[in-house]
Amino acid sequence: MRVAVVGAGIVGVTAALTLAEAGAEVVVLESGTVAGEASGLNAGVVGGGGWGDEPDVDVALKMGSRERFLDLADGRGHDIGLDRTGTLTVVRTERELAWAEATVAAERAVGRLVELLDDGDLRRLEPALDPGLLGAVLDSLAIRAEPVAATEAFAIEARRAGADIRSGWAVTGLAPAAGGGWDLSGGGTGTGVGADVVVLAAGPWCGRLGRLLGVDIPIVPVRGQMWASPAMPPVLRHALAAAESPTDWADPATATTPPFLTEVDHRRLTRHLYGRQRPNGELVFGGDRVLVAEPGGDRTADQDGIDVNHRHVAELLPVVADRPITRTWTGLMPFSLDGRPLIGPLAGFAGLFVAGGLASSGFGRGPMTGGLVADLVLGRDPGIDLTPVLPGGRVRAIG
């Protein structure tokens, strides 16, 4: 079986690795470079929480991806900057505390391993944080890795297994082949690629690829942006998030399509924050999520949003207040319109699969997503109920 995977982000290269190790002939077609988009531009945080008593697909995506990162570092020997310290979601207000208490109670009720820390416990773990914080949700099983190094390492393993990864190969044509299978054109060489099966793992470009076939794949581009400080001595051991945005998103008044945006029509709905201190001493943080019309275009960071995020971090980690921002960058994230990933076959198109819509957690959920879509291609039991993420009736004909 010959499989063409479109996209060499973390979903595409892990799908290629799983397929190639199972004996499939795999070619990965990437318009840019491995990890050149969101898979290489994020904060590198991977959620944990444990499998719990009855893991659903979201838990499987997080914990299965965590296992693949650990295998990459511990089993295959790649230096990906792996850190097992965990993530703190810090609480500033009584309203946020109520959200945190309800969240931890719900997670622990199904056997997940998160805990609510009080202010004293938080200060002992992270003494540089603002002493006025009320506490934090601790996900002690969360890990982190360097995004480019990890994605490239998965690509190295895929190549070792026999996958052909082609950079600078933009797919501009996708059509059923006369004798079965698929024909893909593009790449700037005039030479097409034929495959029995195609996996669309192109992040926010999945919608554009769907339009080549006359279908609407409900994945849209959302711009995220980040900033970095100068290198400094260690001030933050855990990855850091803030409870402000999940508290606000739990309020129906902030509902958006797609969900979990920070701005709509230049109107700020909430402040979202996540980040960490890298091994080189840099602090890297970000959080804004703004819907854009099409992937591509202007990648300039919105300075107002950067300033909002920087001030938010300084409220939690006061040492940041007088530290300059040395660089900023943006990336496009693939948000699905209903907030659920799309993983599985496209109805009406034999041998065509999609794996995307992972929103802002593509790095943390991507490796398991790649593995699951590969299982479906190979006809293997994925071992988890994928009903909530199957494309099914969510992908519709245009017009």
Q: If you write DSSP's letter for every residue of 275-312 in order, what string do you get?
A: EEE-TTS-EEEEEEEEE-SSSSS-----HHHHHHHHHH
pLDDT at 235: 97
pLDDT at 340 over 80: yes
Q: Does domain 2-78+147-214+338-397 have CATH number 3.50.50.60?
A: yes
pLDDT at 189: 62
- The pair phi, psi for residue 296, each rounded to 5°, is 95, -165
Band (pLDDT 50/70/90 cuts) for residue 190 is low
pLDDT at 188: 66
pLDDT at 187: 80
In this prediction, residues 61-83 reach a mean pLDDT of 98
pLDDT at 47 over 80: yes
Which segments of the chain belong to CATH 3.50.50.60?
A: 2-78+147-214+338-397
User: Which CATH fold topology does 87-140+220-336 show?
Assistant: D-Amino Acid Oxidase; Chain A, domain 2 (3.30.9)
DSSP state of 358: B
3-state secondary structure of 385: coil
Spatial separation of the C-alpha atoms in residues 3 and 347, rounded to whole Å? 18
pLDDT at 395 over 90: yes
223: Cβ contacts below 8 Å, ≥ 6 apart: 288, 289, 290, 291, 292, 330, 331, 332, 333
In this prediction, residues 125-154 reach a mean pLDDT of 98
pLDDT at 215 over 90: yes
Summary mean pLDDT of the chain: 96
Which segments of the chain belong to CATH 3.30.9.10?
A: 87-140+220-336
Band (pLDDT 50/70/90 cuts) for residue 21 is very high
Name the least confident of 225-229, 244-248, 293-297.
Answer: 293-297
pTM to 2 decimal places: 0.97
In this prediction, residues 79-105 reach a mean pLDDT of 98
